[in-house]
Structure 1
Amino acid sequence: MNRSAPAPAASAPPAVAPPRDGLLGRLGVWSVHHFKTVLVGWLIVVIGLGAFAPKVTSALSGAGWQANGSDSVKVRTLAEEHFAGNASSAIQIVVHADRPVTDPGVQQVVDRVTALAAADSRISTVVPPQPGATISQDGRTAVLLAGAKASPDDMVRAADDLKEPLRELSGGGVDVTATGASVLWSDFNTANHDAMMKSEIMSWPVTLAILVLAFGSLVAAGLPLLLTMAGLAASAGSLVLISHLFPVSIWAMNFAMMFALALGIDYALFLVVRFRAARAKSERGSDSSRSVAETMDTAGKAVLLSGATVLVSLSAVMLVPSPAFRSMAGGIMLAVLFVLAATLTLLPAVLGRLGHRVDALSLPWAKREAQTSPRFEAWGERLWKQPVRWGALALVALLALAAPVIGLRTAMPSINVLPDDASAKAGYTAVQQAFGDGAPGTLQILTPTDQAAATAQTVANTPGIAGVMPAMPAADGANWSMIQAVPSVDPSDPQLGHTVNTLRAELPDHTLVGGASVENLDLQHLLTEKTPLVIGVVMALGFVLLLLALRAPLIAALGTAASLLSTGAAFGVARLVFQDGHGSGLLGFTPQGFLDGWAPVFFFAMIFAIAMDYTVFLLASAKEQYERTGDPRKAMVGALSHSGRVIFAAAAVMVAVFFTFAISGPLPPKEMGIVLGVAVLLDAALVRLVLLPVLLRLTGRAAWHTPRWLDRILPNIPFSHS
C-alpha cells in the first residue's frame, strides 16, 4: 500500500538581514549609545571656548581692508616707520571755531586736545596746526595730526577710545571732531555691528515662528537653536583665541552669527524630518538608534556634503590677499565647522534620546505620521508633465532679472555710508568745507630725497591736483621725502582713480603713491582683478564635490551652472536698487551710484555656498530615490516630495533673516540683506524647486549616468540606507 508523502513542514520566511550601517550611521549610533559622553564633550567645548566669547567685540579688529603688497600699503608702512606715524592710519583731529583758532580760548581747547591724544600710548606724536597747511584760509578751522604708533587695527581701537572724549571737549563755540581712515573704520564697524545686532534681534521672532510651523512641534523647533548656540559660542571663542595670532575682522563674527543660524536651521530641518520618517516606519517602541542610523546614512551624508561645499566655496575667498576678506571667510568657515560637527554628533545623540518625544508639544494641526509632502509631490508631478512650460517661465524670469548686471559698477564705499552724527563724517565735512573737496583724500607720495624737487614739480603739473605741500624729509634721516598733494575732487569721485594712475605712470622710479583714498582704490582694483578667479575656483570646486558625491557628471554640471542664474539675478536686482536707486526711499538710503566693491567676490561665495546647500539636499534625495527604484520619474517627484518642504522652510527662514538687514542700519547691511535675501528667494523658488527638477525630467536616466572610465576612479557613496 502506497503511503502518502508527508506534507512538507511550513518553512519560516527567510530572515531579512538588517541594513548595514555606513560610517555616518555608525557615528550616529555611537552618539546615541554614548549620549552622556557626547553631551559632556560638547559642554566642555561650549563652556571652554564660550568663556572667551564675551571678549569678541573688543578682541577682534576693525581694519584690514587693504590690498597686501600694494604701493599704498607700502607707503603707509614707510610713513609709520620714517615719518613719525604720519600715515593713512593717523588720526586727524579737527578743531572748528566761530572765531580764529589763534584766539586764547580756542588755543586752550587745542592744548587739551593735544594732551588727550598724546596720553594715548598708540599715538606717536601730535603735530600742531601749521599755518598755510593745516589751518584754513579763514583761520577758523585747524587740523591736528595724531601720528600712528601702532598697527592699523590698534589705531582703529585708538579711534574707538578717543573720538568721544575728543568730542566732549567741544563747547563755547568750538567743535572738536576726530576723522581720518582709522576713525572712519571705527564708526563704520560700530554702525554696521549695531545694525546687524538689531537685525538679528528683529529676525528671531520671525525665525521661531517659521521653525514652529515647519517642524510642527515646539521640541523639534528648538533643536536648530541647540546647534546654533553651540556652534556660535564655540566659534566666537575660537575667533578670540585666533585674534592673538593674527588680526581678525569684527565682521568675521557678524557673518559667523548669520551663517551659524542659517545652516544650523538647514541641517536640523533635514535631519529631524528624516528622523521622523524613519521613526514612522519602525515598530512602535523600537530602539531609536536604528532610526538615527538610517537618518545619518541618508540625510547625514547630504548634510556632510553640503557643509563641505560651503567650506570649499568660502575657501576660495582666501585667494584675495586682503586681511579683512580672509578673516571674514575664515570666521564663517569656523562657524560652519562647529555647526557641522554638532549636527553629526550632538543632534543624533539628542534625537536618539528623545525618540518619539521629538514630537512633544506638537501643534494641533501637525501630522506626525507625514513622511512626505503631498503638495510638493503634486508639484513634482506637474513639472514632470509640463517641464518645458515651467522651466521656460523660470528661466525667462531669472534671465530678465539678471540682465541689469551688465551695467553694474562697483567701488569702495563713500563717507555717505556713515550716519550723519558719526565723528568721521562730521570731521570729513568740516575739512572739506575749510580746505576743499579733495582735502579729506590727501595723497601721500614718497620719493627718494634726491628726486623730491622733480617729483613735486610733476605732481603740481598733474591734472586733478589742487595743491601740493612742500616736501617733508624723513624724521629719522632715511632717504625718503613725503609730498602731500590735495586732489581737486572728492575721494569717492571716479576721477581720483585717473589722477592716481597718471601720477604712477609719470612720477620718477621708486616713487610710491599712497594715502587712505588710494588704499581704497588699490583694494578695489585687487577685488576687480580677483573676482573672475574666485568665481571660477568656487564653481570648479563645487562641481568636483557634487561629482564625487553623485557620480553623475551631467547633473553635477547642471546643478553647479544653475547657481549662476540666481546669483546673476540677485546682482541684477542689486544694480537696480543700489546703483540706480529704485526703492531707495522705501529702504531709507541715498544711492551711491555703485555697489560696494567687496560685494561681487564675497557675496558671490556666500550665495553660491547657500545655493549649493539646497542643491545638495535636492539631488541627494533624488539620488536616493533613483538608487532604490531606478526610475527617473520617481527620483524627481520623490526628491520634491521628501525635500521640497525642507528647502522651502529653510529658505523662508534665511529670507526672513536677510531681509531684516535690508530695513535696518547703514547701507552695507542693506546691500547684504537685499543681495542675499533675493538670491535665496530666487534660488529656492525658481532654481531648486522648478528649474533643477525640470532638468532632471529632461535629462532622464542620462542625469545619473556615470561613464565607465569615471566609474573606476570615483568613490561609491550611496545615499540610500539598505
Structure 2
Amino acid sequence: MTSVSSPEAGSPGRRPHAPGAAGSPGPFGRLGIWSATHARTVFLLWVVVVAVLGAFAPKVESALSGAGWQANGSQSVAVRQIAQDHFGGNASSAIQVVVHADKPVTDPSVQKVIGQAESIVRGDSRVAAVVPPQPGATVSPDGHTAIVLAGAKADPNEMVRAADDLKEPLAALSGQGVTVNATGASVLWSDFNTANHSAMIHSEILSWPVTLVILVLAFGSLVAAGLPLLLTMAGLGASAGSLVLLTHLTPVSIWAMNFAMMFALALGIDYALFMVMRFRGARMGRARTTVQAVAETMDTAGKAVALSGATVLVSLSAVMLVPSPAFRSMAGGIMLAVAFVLAATLTLLPAVLAKLGHRIDAAALPWAKVGEHRSPRFAAWGERLWRRPVAYGAGALVVLLALAAPVIGLRTAMPSINVLPGDASARAGYTAVQNAFGPGAPGTLQIAVPSVSAPQAAQTAQHTPGIATVLPPQAAADHSGWTMIQAVPTADPSDPVLSQTVHTLRTGLPHGSLVGGAAVENLDLQHLLTQKTPLVIGIVLALGFLLLLIALQAPLVAALGTAASLLSTGAAFGVARLLFQDGHGAGLLGFTSQGFLDGWAPVFFFAMIFAIAMDYTVFLLASAKEHYERTRDVKDAMVGAMAHSGRVIFAAAAVMVAVFFTFAISGPLPPKEMGIVLGVAVLLDAALVRLVLLPVLLRLTGHAAWWTPSWLRRILPDVRFAHD
C-alpha cells in the first residue's frame, strides 16, 4: 500500500519554493491584477474588438464555403480542373438538371420544360457551357428521362452557392407529369450543408434551456451563471468576424462556424466554472481584497486554463496535417474560437470578477457559499476511491475496455446519398438518374488522357471489370492535347467495390492518364484520411503528453493523463460502431445504417475528443499538483483534487453531454454521429476516467506519480500551481 507520509525536503522530485514566492504573484497573477485594476480599459478593448470583428459576423453564412471536401494533390482534383479548363466546365462540380416525364422527352410539352431549365442555368454567371440532352448519352433508353448539363465556370465553392440559388427555380418547373431536379456533387453539398446546418441550429436551440438550468445549478447564482455566456458571446462575435476576414485569404468551410460555436460555448463554460469557483474560494474565509483574490485565481485556475487552452489548440492543430480545405478550415475555425474565448477568460473575466466582488453571489442558491470552493460530496467520493482503489479502478477499466472492443471491426467511408432527406433535390435527381441509366450512372468516372493515348485508354476502360459503359472519347476543343473519356461503372457510387474498379483503371491505363469524377473524389479523400489518421493521432498524443509534462513537471502522471484519454475515445468509437455501422438502435434514433462510420470521424472527432478530455485532465491534475506542492501528501493531492475540481468537471461535462446529445435527435445522419460520438466520449471521460480511473492511478502510484528526474528538472520551466 502506498505510504501517505510526506517526504523530506530533500526527497526526489521536490523543488524548494522560490524566495519570496509567498505573496508574490506570478505572471498570470500580475495579468489578473492588471485586468482588475484597469477594468475600464479591458472592457473598452473588448468592446472595440467585438464591435469591429462582430460587424463582419452577419456575413458569415454567405461568406463561408460549402465545398472543400477533397484531397489536395489527388488525381481526381486534377481531373476536375482539366474538365473545367478544357471541356466547358463538364467537371465533377457541374450541375446536372434531371428532367423526368410521363411522356417521352421528345414531346413538345416536355421540350418546353427542358428549354426553360436550360434558360435558367444559362442565366447564372457561374455556369459555363450548357449542354442539352444528347440521345445515347444523356437521354435514357426508355426516352422518359433527360439530363441538361450546366458546366462549372467557377470554383467548387461558388458552384455550391450556384446550386443554392438554382435548385429551387428548377424544381418550380415541375408539374403536369414532369419532375425537374438538380443533382450532382455541387447540389449534394448544397443540400448536405443546408440539412446539417438546420439540424445543428435546431439542436442548439433545444440545448439552451438545459444548459441554462445546469449553469445555474453548477454556479449556484444567477449572476455567476451568466459569465460563461459573456465569454461565449465575446468569443463567438470575434471569431465569426475573423472567419469572414479569413475567407479573403482562403476558403473556409461553413462547418467551421458550427463547430466553433459548440467549442466556444463548451470551453467558455469550462473555463468560467473553474475560475469562478476558485475566485469564491480565494475570497471566502480569508482577509483578502478582491484584487488579491483575482491574483490568486489567475495564478492557480488561470494558469490551468491557459495550459488547457494550449492543449486544445495543439490537439486541433494536428488536423492541419490533412491536406483537405474542409478539414483545415474547420480546425482553424475552432482554434480561432478557442483563442478568443481563452483571451476573454484571462483578461475580461478577471476584470468582471473584480467589478462584481461579493456581488457574484447575488441571487445565490444555498450551496453557493461553500468555503474554499470545496465540495463535501466529491471529497467523500475521493475518500471512497482512496480506500478501495483496485475495486473501483478495475470496474471502470473493464467497462471502458468492453465498450472499446468493437473498434477492432470499425469501417469508415464517405457518406452516401442516403444521408440527405428523401425530398432533397440532389437525392431525388440521383434516384431518377439511377432508375433511368443504371446504378452506377450517378458516379460516372472521368478519365483525362493525353489525346495520343485516347484509343488505348478507351479500350482499356471497356475491358475493365466493373465498367458497364464507356462513352466515345471527346477531344478538347481548345486543342490542349487532352481527351476526356466518360466511363459508367456497374456499382452504386457508395458501393465499396467501386474503389477496386478505380484502382484497376489507374493501374491499367496508359501513362499520363488521370481518373476522377465526383465519386472518385470521395474515394481519394477517404484514402487520404485513412493514410493520415495514424499520423494525426500520434502527433496529438505526443503534443498532449509534452504539454502535460511541462505543466505538471512529472513524466509518469503526464503519461497516465495522456493514455487515459485513449480509453474514453476508444469506448466512444466502439459505441459508434455498434450504433452506426451495425445499426443497433437505428430505429430508436431514427436513421438507416450505412454499414460504416463517416470517413472524417476518426481523425477529426479524435482531435476534438482528445482536446475536451485533456481539458478535464488539466483541471484535475493541476488541482492535484497544487495540493501536492503545498503538503507533499499524496492522499491530500488526490482527495483534494476531487474535492476542488470534481464538481467543476461534473458540471462542465453535464453541459457538454446535454449539448452533444441534442444532436442525436437531429434529422441528418452526420449530426447524429457527431452528437453520439462526442456525447458518449465526454460522458465516459468525466464519469469513468477523470472521476474514477485517473484518481485511482494517482492513489496507486503515490509519490512516484510526481517524481521528476534531476536532468529533466533542469530542462523544464518551473511551473507551479500552489499559491501560498
> How many pairs does the alignment contain?
705
Instruction: Give, as a single letter, the amino acid of the residue that structure 1 aligns with 2:101.
Output: A
From 132, 137, 140, the equivalent of 1:133 is 137
C-alpha separation in 1, matches of 2:583 and 2:373: 46
C-alpha separation in 1, matches of 2:233 and 2:704: 43
* Contact 2:220/2:365, CA 8 A, preserved across alignment: yes
Matches within 5 A, 1:185-264: 185-264=189-268
C-alpha separation in 2, matches of 1:396 and 1:141: 57
Instruction: Give, as a single letter, the amino acid of the residue that structure 2 aligns with 1:37.
Output: T
From 688, 691, 698, the equivalent of 2:690 is 688
SS in 2 for 1:420: coil
Matches within 5 A, 1:482-631: 482-631=484-633
Alignment partner of 1:58 is 2:62: yes
Residue matched to 2:289: 287
Residue matched to 1:29: 33
SS in 2 for 1:482: strand
1:368 shift after superposition: 4.6
Residue matched to 2:417: 415
From 404, 429, 432, the equivalent of 2:434 is 432
- TM-score, normalization by structure 1: 0.97
* Contact 1:194/1:665, CA 8 A, preserved across alignment: no
How big is each residue's C-alpha offset from its partner over 1:467-513, in whole Å with a ceiling of 9 and x where there is no partner?
Answer: 01000011211111000011001000000001000001111110000
SS in 1 for 2:494: coil
C-alpha separation in 1, matches of 2:659 and 2:151: 41
* Contact 2:278/2:372, CA 8 A, preserved across alignment: no
C-alpha separation in 2, matches of 1:231 and 1:111: 50
C-alpha separation in 2, matches of 1:632 and 1:238: 45
Instruction: Give, as a single letter, the amino acid of the residue that structure 2 aligns with 1:49.
Output: L
Query: CA distance change for structure 1 residues 260 and 17 in 2, over 3 Å: closer, same or farther?
Result: closer
Alignment partner of 1:659 is 2:661: yes
C-alpha separation in 2, matches of 1:535 and 1:656: 27
Alignment partner of 1:72 is 2:79: no
* Contact 2:22/2:723, CA 8 A, preserved across alignment: no
How big is each residue's C-alpha offset from its partner over 1:509-530, in whole Å with a ceiling of 9 and x where there is no partner?
Answer: 1000000000000000000000
Residue matched to 1:11: none
Instruction: Give, as a single letter, the amino acid of the residue that structure 2 aligns with 1:563.
Output: S
1:169 shift after superposition: 1.2
SS in 1 for 2:654: helix
Gaps of 5+ in 2: 1-19
Gaps of 5+ in 1: 1-15
From 315, 318, 325, the equivalent of 1:316 is 318
From 43, 48, 56, the equivalent of 2:52 is 48
Instruction: Give, as a single letter, the amino acid of the residue that structure 2 aligns with 1:437.
Output: P
C-alpha separation in 2, matches of 1:557 and 1:287: 39
* Contact 1:72/1:515, CA 8 A, preserved across alignment: yes
C-alpha separation in 2, matches of 1:98 and 1:567: 52
SS in 1 for 2:226: helix
| Percent of pairs with identical residues | 77
Deviates more, 1:470-479 or 1:509-518: 470-479
Matches within 5 A, 1:665-684: 665-684=667-686
Residue matched to 2:309: 307
C-alpha separation in 1, matches of 2:368 and 2:413: 50
Residue matched to 1:176: 180
Residue matched to 1:704: 706
* Contact 1:359/1:368, CA 8 A, preserved across alignment: no
Residue matched to 1:153: 157
Moved over 2 A (4+): 363-371
Residue matched to 1:6: none
Instruction: Give, as a single letter, the amino acid of the residue that structure 2 aligns with 1:35.
Output: A
Residue matched to 2:376: 374
1:461 shift after superposition: 0.6
1:174 shift after superposition: 1.1
Deviates more, 1:260-269 or 1:95-104: 95-104
How big is each residue's C-alpha offset from its partner over 1:549-592, in whole Å with a ceiling of 9 and x where there is no partner?
Answer: 11100000111011000000000000000000011111000000
Residue matched to 1:4: none
Alignment partner of 1:109 is 2:113: yes
SS in 2 for 1:182: helix
From 432, 445, 467, the equivalent of 2:447 is 445
1:664 shift after superposition: 1.1
Deviates more, 1:368-377 or 1:156-165: 368-377
1:17 shift after superposition: 9.2
Residue matched to 2:280: 276
C-alpha separation in 2, matches of 1:120 and 1:371: 62
Residue matched to 2:358: 356
* Contact 2:285/2:371, CA 8 A, preserved across alignment: no
Instruction: Give, as a single letter, the amino acid of the residue that structure 1 aligns with 2:582.
Output: D
- Please report the RMSD computed on the Cα atoms of aligned residues, expressed in angstroms: 0.9
SS in 1 for 2:430: helix
Instruction: Give, as a single letter, the amino acid of the residue that structure 1 aligns with 2:124.
Output: D
From 243, 256, 271, the equivalent of 1:267 is 271
1:665 shift after superposition: 2.2
C-alpha separation in 1, matches of 2:444 and 2:41: 61
C-alpha separation in 1, matches of 2:546 and 2:477: 55
Instruction: Give, as a single letter, the amino acid of the residue that structure 1 aligns with 2:638.
Output: M
C-alpha separation in 2, matches of 1:287 and 1:409: 58
SS in 1 for 2:44: helix
C-alpha separation in 2, matches of 1:311 and 1:87: 37
* Contact 2:413/2:526, CA 8 A, preserved across alignment: yes
* Contact 1:648/1:684, CA 8 A, preserved across alignment: yes
Residue matched to 1:341: 343
Alignment partner of 1:84 is 2:88: yes
